[in-house]
Chains A and B, each alone.
Chain A
Amino acid sequence: MSYMNNPAVVMDNGTGLTKLGFAGNDSPSWVFPTAIATAQPSNAKQTSSNAVSAGASSVANTGQSSGSGRQYFGNSTSATAFNSLSSGSALMSNNLAGKRGTEDLDFYIGNEALIAAQGPSYGLSYPIRHGQVENWDHMERFWENSIFKYLRTEPEDHCFLLTEPPLNPPENREQVAEIFFESFNCAGLYIAVQAVLALAASWTSSKVIDRSLTGTVIDSGDGVTHVIPVAEGYVIGSAIKNIPIAGRDITLFIQQLLRERGEEDTSLRTAERIKQEYCYVCPDIVKEFNKFDRDSEKFAQFVVESQEKTRRKVVDVGCERFMAPEIFFNPEIASSDFLTPLPTIVDHTIQACPIDVRKGLYNNIVLSGGSTMFKDFGRRLQRDLKSIVNNRIVQSEYLSGTKSTGVDVQVISHRKQRNAVWFGGSLLAQTAEFKSYCHTKKDYEEIGPEIVRNFSLFNMV
C-alpha cells in the first residue's frame, strides 16, 4: 500500500489554535487560529438574484420573499413542502444548501480568515467551542482547506491522528469518522484524547523514567485550565476539574496593572508580549518585591513599541513580571469569584480519584499548553502541592498513630510544553505500530462509524 511510507498527519484542533503537522517533526508545521471566514450573503447580491426570479419591481420582490417565508413558517408539515423552497428562498440563502455555484469554496481559514474578515464580504466564525466541534459544516471545510492547501496531502495516502477533548461524546467521534472516511477517504484514522498525548509528550523529559500513561495533566491554554487525571491511558472523567483562569486572564491582569501605573501603552497586545517575554513565577512575593527594590535592573526592562517604525513607546515592566502568573497560585488577587489556588485544585482532583492510582497521579504531574510556560511554574506548583500533601500526611499520622510511607510529588516540565498535545501525537504517530492502531477505510466500510468508539491504547514501550 502506498500510504505506508508517507508520514502520518497529526492535527490538534483546539478552541483557539489549530496545530497541523506531520508525525516525526518536533513542532507543528502550522499553528493558526481555528477560525473560518465564509462569504457573507451580501444584500445587494441577494436582492438581484431575487429580482431575476421575481421580476423587476422591488415591491414584487419583497412580496415574493415574505411569501416564501410564510410558506416556511406556516402550518404545512408535509416534507414535500420543502421542495418548493429550493427556488431561491431568502431563508435558505444564509445556508450553504441554498447555493448553486461554487460559494462553498469561497472561504479562508486560519490567519487568512482573520485578514479576510476585516473586509465587508466575509464573516468570521470559530467552529470549535469549549474544545468541541459546534459547526460541522465549517469544520469539514476547515479540514478540507487544512489538508489540501496547508499540508498538501492526498488524504488517501496518509493516516491521520486527530485529538479530542476529555469527555467528548462518542457521537462527535462518529461525526469525525464520517467526515474523514467519507469525504476525504483517509487511509487510516486514530482519535486520541488530548490529555493522554500530553502525557506521552512528557516522555521526552529526563525526569521520566518509566513511560507510563498514568499521571495528572494540567492543560492551560488561553481560555480555561483543565486538571485531568489519567490512569493507564484512560481519563478519569468524574475527577476532572476546570479552573476559569488561563492565559487571557493573565493578559488582562497585566493590562490592569499597566493602567494603574499609567503606562504609555496599555493595549492588550503589549500586555500579551510582556506576558510572553518577561513573566516568571517567584517563590515569595514579598521577597521578590524587595529584590526589585534592591536591584533596579529588574524594573528597568521595557518593551520598545515600534508602530510602523514611526513612533516608539517605552513601557516599563515592573512587578507584573512575577505578579501576573501569581494569579494561578493566588486567584484572589485578580478575581473575586474564584479563589481556590491551582495546587489545591490539583490536590482535590487527585483526591477524587480511586485510592490505588493516587500515588501515580501525584508522582507524574505533567504540564501542557502555553500558559504553563512561565519559568519556575512547575517548581512552585511542586512546592505548594508538596506542602499540602505533607500537611495531610502529618495529620493522618497523628490521628491514626501509624507511619505513612510518604507520597512523592513530582511536577514535570519539559521543552515541548507549548504544543505538548501535538508533540505527543507526533511521537506516537511516528512509531511503527501506529498504523496498526488506526482504523482503516476498509474497517469503516465494514463496520460503520461506531468503529471509532474504541481505539486500542498505545503500548507502553
Chain B
Amino acid sequence: MNPEQVFRVHESPRLKKPSLIAAWMEDAGKLGPQVIDFLVQKLDCREFGEILPEGFFPMAGVTVEDDVTQFPVSKFYVSDEHNLIIFLSNTPRTDWYRFLNIVLDITHNECGVKEIYALGAMVSSAAHTMPRLILSVVNSPQMKDILNPYGIISDMEYETPPGQKPTINSYLVWLAWKRGLPGASLWVPVPYYLIQAEDPRACKRYVDFFDRRFNLGIDTQELDDHMSEQNVRIARLFKENPAVEGFVRRLEVNQPLEPEESERLAREMGEYLNRP
C-alpha cells in the first residue's frame, strides 16, 4: 500500500503551532465522541482529512448500532480561528503503531501541532451527583506544568496489571513523547449507571477545561440544559422507583452496592434515561 492510500488530506490547514484534541468512538458512555461533536459543532470546525480504514480495521462486514450500519471513521477537523486540530476515530484493531504514527505525522509533521490532549472516560462507582474531576497522565514534566493551573489531577501511580493492556491514549502520548511532543491522556470518571445513557456533566467538564485552556469563548448553555433535563428525569425516576434512589444515595456516601444491586441500578437507570 502506498502512502497516498493510507490517508487523505483534503486541504492542509495553515495554523501556527496548533494543539490537538483526540478521542475514540468506543469511549465508555461515548463521552469522547460527545465532547468532540460538541466542539466541532460549536467551533464551526471543518473536516480536512482522514485515515483510510484498510489495514487497520477488519473488513469483515459491518456492525449495526441504533438500527443503522457503522463503518470505521478516522477524521481530522480544524478550527482555524482557535488554532485547534481535532481527531475522532474508531480504535484501530491492528497495526496500532503505524496508525498512531500517521496521526502524529499529519498533526505534528504536517500541521506543526505543539501539544496533544487525548481524552476519554473512566467508569466510576461514584454517584452522578459528585463533582466531575479531570485526571491525567502526562508524557513529560513540561505537560504537567501546562496542566497545573487548571486543577487537573496528575499524581497517579500505576502499573498495568497482568491480563490488561495500556490504553490507546497512553500509547498515543507515549509515541508523542518519542517525538519530543508534550501530551496528556485525560479521563473524566463517569458513573457506571450512566454509561448506557449520557453524562452531560462529564462532557461539560471537558468543554470547560478546553474553553479555559484555549480561550474558546464557547457557549455551554446547551450542555447546562441537558444536565438540567437529566436531573429532572432522574428525580422523576427516584419518585417512581425508590429502590434506585436508595442505591444512588448509598453511592453518595461511599457505601458499596452488591453486584445484583449495581446491575439493577445500571439497567433501570439506563432504560429510563434512554426512553424517548
Q: Do A and B come from one complex?
A: no
